[in-house]
């Protein structure tokens, strides 16, 4: 990197905050006696006045309060001050992740049992967010709380009907969407529109293009299913493809509900137009897999996937491990001392958690789908057993035994329905939830990847700016005055690009932290509601199963 390049964010001006390193240690070692020496720099409060000696333990509390107000400055560099207090421990060989946890980490990574129950139901509009931000990042949080401070409105979205239009391979499905809202951004409080599946994909593409570069987690639309739609198009009867159509309808409804739950996406003009525009939307040709735009999009995704895969190579290989180490050292912002900033530690740890959670979600989704499939097989086997028992009861000459076998067949038929209902609950309540969150975790990883791209663009602009300054210096030494003016204009242009890149990186970091806080609350609430619903269905079915067998037991005992 050329000379004169500004250091990465969150780490500059370390010398100015170095004097605060002994704030907490002085509070513990300083005796509370009347004969205290005049207050030093570390004994000053946030407003610059010296602290008064106290005889109780309140002295330590007041110092902590002063430290909190000191950290609430508008600068982003206070993370260095918090990090500097742990330098002594890090020098002893401990990892920065084993040091004293930072305040934001305790807020964002707190377990569901330790924090209050989230109050943001997915099926309704997002409620006003409770501000519980850590002191060291309060200024950052306040600068991006404008969206949550807006007045919230109720919104209810349902897809009540799906209909097949046309015949043959040119057929397609339309979905009737009913939206009721109190948001004045909509022209009517209730809207009913018909939308095709491609309209949903086009909406997601527009939202992702505008909001993902800003660090916003955009819920993904359901994936295409060429095999499923081919069955729908070629099927003459509605019952032949009813299962696929119902699953897609439910998935599209969940997609709209999650998008409407985001306070920024719900006010997007494209989203509002999707829910209230009468008639058909402009055809989104870029969503077609066989179109030219679809092919270009495929190549673009392959390129991005290859770039991401290079960051996931097994680090056990020495050559790749060395490459990854150098790569991360070149893209991750660090302080002049070589340590990661507190901000970057948060992103690195959160990224590891996202990867681990994504892996476990995929395993759980596979297990639940297998469970649902086994229950369907059990339901089919139970139906076969019920038919066999009924046929045996018809040919049995013993009256009591024949009646018992007939009653057994009826009981097994009821149990068959229970197994089928439970298989549906396994799939729609749990398996679909896991599938949605597997896609959501990919959206989370996309915004993390967008942050790295933003940082690289900023640093590339800094590198270019350094080259432009070197070129201007050469022109001045060669006394080429005609090229000096041109070089100065280019330097001014690239200085603006560097400043813009720095601002963009700062904004995307703040937005991602805010988005992850919201995402964690929504995730906990979703899992809580669905697990409770699943357990209620499971217990209800088990109670029915016990009741069926208790009813059959007297018939079995009556056989003489």
The band of 286, judged by pLDDT with boundaries at 50, 70 and 90, is: low
Calpha distance 491→484 (Å, rounded):
10
CATH number at residue 171: 3.30.1520.10
Give residue 149's pLDDT. Answer: 47
Residues of the domain holding 354 = 340-560
Give residue 274's pLDDT. Answer: 95
- Would you say residue 117 lies in a domain? no
Cβ proximity of 523 and 437 under 8 Å:
yes
- Does the pLDDT of residue 419 top 80, yes or no? yes
- Does the pLDDT of residue 43 top 50, yes or no? no
In a shared domain, residues 230 and 356: no
In a shared domain, residues 281 and 198: yes
- Does the pLDDT of residue 536 top 80, yes or no? yes
Q: What is the mean pLDDT of residues 542-546?
A: 95
In a shared domain, residues 245 and 353: no
Q: What is the mean pLDDT of residues 162-183?
A: 88
Question: Maximum distance among all alpha carbons in the chain?
Answer: 119
Distance linking the first and last C-alpha atoms of the chain: 95
- Does the pLDDT of residue 457 top 50, yes or no? yes
CATH number at residue 361: 1.20.1270.60
Q: Dihedral angle at the C-alpha atoms of 434, 438, 440, 441, nearest 10 degrees?
A: 130
C-alpha gyration radius of the chain: 31
In a shared domain, residues 193 and 63: no
SS (H, E, C) 394-416: HHCCCHHHHHHHHHHHHHHHHHH
Q: Which of 200-209, 212-221, 273-282, 429-438 has the lowest mean pLDDT?
A: 273-282
Q: Which residues, 6+ apart, have CB-to-CB distance to 107 below 8 Å?
A: 132, 133, 134, 517
In a shared domain, residues 344 and 240: no
The band of 285, judged by pLDDT with boundaries at 50, 70 and 90, is: low
Residue 230 CB coordination number (10 Å): 12
Give residue 238's pLDDT. Answer: 59
Cβ proximity of 97 and 64 under 8 Å:
no
- Would you say residue 313 lies in a domain? no
Calpha distance 214→239 (Å, rounded):
44
- Would you say residue 177 lies in a domain? yes
Give residue 479's pLDDT. Answer: 87
- Would you say residue 138 lies in a domain? no
| Beta partners for residue 155, in sequence order | 181
- Would you say residue 255 lies in a domain? yes
Q: Kindly provide the b/e burial profile for residues 468-500, where b requires at least 16 CB atoms within 10 angstroms of the residue's own CB.
A: bbebbeebeeeeeeeebeebeebbeebeebbee
Cβ proximity of 246 and 222 under 8 Å:
no
- Would you say residue 421 lies in a domain? yes
Calpha distance 172→183 (Å, rounded):
32
- Would you say residue 320 lies in a domain? no
Both tokens of 136, joined, read 């060291």
At 201-211, the pLDDT tens digits run 999 999 999 99
Among the candidates 259, 288, 317, a domain finishes at 288
Q: Which of 82-91, 335-344, 407-416, 485-494 has the lowest mean pLDDT?
A: 82-91
| 74 or 212: which leads in pLDDT | 212
Q: Report angle CA 527, 531, 534 to the nearest 5 degrees.
A: 140
pTM across the whole model? 0.65
Tokens 């070149």, located at residue: 330
- Would you say residue 106 lies in a domain? no
In a shared domain, residues 526 and 385: yes
Both tokens of 78, joined, read 């206070």
At 335-364, the pLDDT tens digits run 454 455 778 889 989 999 999 999 999 999
Cβ proximity of 406 and 390 under 8 Å:
yes
Q: What is the mean pLDDT of residues 100-127?
A: 39
Ramachandran class of 48: left when φ > 0, alpha when ψ lies in -120 to 50, beta otherwise: left
In a shared domain, residues 35 and 176: no
Task: Please name the helix (run of DSSP H) or strand (run of DSSP E) that holds residue 353, with its range, or none.
Answer: helix 342-395
User: How many domains are contained in the chain?
Assistant: 3
How far are the Cα atoms of 162, 241, 298 from residue 227, in angstroms, in the given order? 18, 11, 19
Residue 527 CB coordination number (10 Å): 15
- Does the pLDDT of residue 165 top 90, yes or no? no
| Beta partners for residue 180, in sequence order | 156, 190
- Does the pLDDT of residue 36 top 90, yes or no? no
Q: Which of 103-112, 120-129, 392-401, 542-551 has the lowest mean pLDDT?
A: 120-129
Give residue 103's pLDDT. Answer: 45
In a shared domain, residues 415 and 560: yes
In a shared domain, residues 164 and 26: no
Of 310, 341, 336, the closest CA to residue 509 belongs to 341
Where do runs of H (alpha helix) occur along 196-238?
197-211, 226-234
Both tokens of 167, joined, read 């015949």
Calpha distance 531→433 (Å, rounded):
10
Average pLDDT, the chain: 73
In a shared domain, residues 30 and 171: no
Q: What is the mean pLDDT of residues 154-165?
A: 91
- Does the pLDDT of residue 174 top 70, yes or no? yes
- Does the pLDDT of residue 22 top 70, yes or no? no
């Amino acid at each position: 990197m050329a000379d004169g390049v500004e250091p990465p964010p969150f780490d500059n001006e370390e010398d100015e905050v170095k004097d605060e390193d002994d704030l907490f240690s002085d509070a513990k070692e300083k005796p509370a006696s009347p004969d205290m020496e005049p207050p030093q720099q570390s004994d000053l409060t946030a407003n610059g006045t010296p602290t008064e000696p106290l005889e109780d333990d309140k002295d330590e509390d007041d110092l902590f309060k002063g430290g909190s107000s000191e950290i609430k400055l508008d600068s982003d560099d206070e993370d260095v001050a918090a990090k500097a207090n742990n330098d002594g421990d890090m020098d002893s060989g401990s990892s920065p992740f084993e040091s004293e946890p930072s305040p934001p980490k305790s807020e964002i990574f707190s377990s569901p049992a330790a924090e209050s129950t989230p109050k943001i139901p997915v099926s309704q509009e997002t409620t006003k967010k409770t501000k519980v931000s850590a002191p060291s990042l309060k200024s950052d949080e306040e600068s991006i709380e404008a969206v949550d401070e807006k007045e919230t409105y109720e919104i209810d979205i349902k897809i009540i009907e799906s209909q097949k239009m046309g015949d043959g391979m040119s057929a397609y499905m339309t979905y009737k969407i009913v939206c009721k809202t109190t948001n004045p951004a909509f022209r009517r409080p209730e809207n009913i529109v018909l939308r095709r599946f491609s309209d949903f994909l086009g909406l997601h593409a527009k939202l992702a293009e505008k909001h993902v570069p800003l660090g916003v987690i955009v819920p993904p639309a359901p994936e295409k299913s060429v095999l499923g739609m081919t069955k729908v198009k070629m099927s003459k009867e509605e019952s032949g493809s009813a299962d696929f159509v119902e699953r897609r309808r439910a998935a599209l409804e969940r997609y709209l509900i999650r998008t409407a739950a985001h306070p920024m996406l719900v006010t997007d003009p494209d989203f509002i137009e999707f829910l209230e525009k009468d008639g058909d939307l402009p055809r989104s040709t870029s969503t077609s897999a066989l179109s030219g735009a679809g092919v270009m999009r495929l190549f673009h995704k392959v390129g991005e996937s290859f770039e991401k895969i290079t960051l996931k190579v097994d680090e056990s290989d020495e050559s790749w491990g060395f490459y990854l180490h150098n790569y991360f050292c070149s893209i991750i912002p660090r302080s002049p001392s070589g340590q990661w900033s507190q901000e970057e530690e948060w992103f690195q740890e959160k990224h590891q958690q996202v990867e681990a959670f994504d892996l476990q979600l995929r395993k759980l989704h596979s297990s639940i789908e297998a469970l649902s499939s086994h229950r369907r097989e059990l339901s089919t086997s139970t139906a076969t057993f019920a038919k066999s028992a009924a046929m045996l009861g018809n040919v049995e000459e013993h009256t009591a035994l024949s009646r018992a076998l007939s009653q057994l067949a009826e009981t097994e038929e009821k149990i068959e329905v229970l197994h089928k209902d439970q298989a549906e609950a396994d799939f729609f309540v749990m398996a679909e939830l896991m599938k949605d969150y597997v896609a959501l975790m990919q959206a989370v990883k996309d915004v993390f990847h967008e942050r790295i791209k933003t940082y690289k663009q900023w640093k590339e602009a800094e590198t270019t700016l350094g080259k432009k300054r070197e070129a201007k210096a050469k022109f001045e030494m060669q006394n080429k005055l005609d090229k000096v003016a041109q070089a100065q204009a280019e330097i001014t242009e690239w200085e603006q690009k560097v400043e813009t890149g720095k601002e963009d990186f700062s904004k995307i970091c703040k937005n991602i932290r805010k988005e992850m806080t919201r995402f964690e609350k929504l995730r906990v609430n979703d899992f809580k509601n669905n697990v409770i619903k699943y357990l209620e269905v499971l217990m209800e079915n088990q109670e029915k199963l016990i009741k069926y067998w208790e009813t059959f037991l007297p018939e079995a005992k009556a056989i003489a």
